Amino acid sequence: MARPKGSGGEETVNHYGLIRLRLNGSGNLRMTLYSLDKVESDVQSPIVMNSLTNVEPTALANFTQQRAKLQIKTTASGETFQISKIIVYLRPVAKSFPQ
Average pLDDT on 67-72 reads: 95
pTM of the model: 0.80
Name the burial class of residue 30, with classes exposed (0-12), middle (13-18) and buried (19+) by CB atoms within 10 angstroms of its CB.
Answer: middle
- pLDDT at position 9 over 70: no
End-to-end CA distance of the chain: 29
CA distance 36 to 63: 12
Question: pLDDT of 24-52, one tens digit each?
Answer: 999 999 999 999 999 999 999 999 999 89
CA angle 42, 46, 51 (to 5 degrees): 140
pLDDT of residue 96 exceeding 90, the answer is no
